[in-house]
Amino acid sequence: MRFEIAGSAHTPLETLLTERIVSLWLLVETLDALMNVQLCTDLDVPRATPSYLRHIFKWQESANHRYLASIRELARVRKLEGNTPGIQMNTQINIGSSPQGVEGEESHRRLEELDPTS
């Protein structure tokens, strides 16, 4: 399941979200099974108290909410990564005898003051 969700080219953030989705899916399924056993009338199993069942319902609701939020965040990350342009790096290399920029102009003026023949 982990590889199906993460895909072939995944970032570290996608890996973290995938791990969260898988672990929450397991928790949601476990709580569903626990509640099914407790609510099934055909089975002869000891029943939990109503207050304990309310706690399990809250855990189940919370786990399901976090599970869906994780799926939503993974979809959002993938959408944002698809719209992000590639990184562009601009580098300027000055070749020649005339310096450029404010600092270059000042140093060029100083050189002319020292050596007026240049």
pLDDT per residue as tens digits for the range 84-98: 665 666 777 777 665
Letter string b/e over residues 44-83, b meaning 16 or more CB atoms within 10 A of that residue's CB: eeeeeeeeeeeeeeebbeebeebbeebbeebeebeeeeee
- Domain tally, the chain: 1
Considering the domain boundaries, does residue 100 fall inside one? no
Other beta carbons less than 10 A from residue 21's beta carbon: 22
**What pLDDT score does 80 carry?**
86
Is the model's pTM score more than 0.85?
Answer: no
Considering the domain boundaries, does residue 39 fall inside one? yes
Considering the domain boundaries, does residue 110 fall inside one? no
Considering the domain boundaries, does residue 106 fall inside one? no
Considering the domain boundaries, does residue 9 fall inside one? yes
Confidence bin at 12 (pLDDT 50/70/90): confident
Tokens (6 digits) for 111:
């050189």
Considering the domain boundaries, does residue 108 fall inside one? no
Domain encompassing residue 16: 2-83
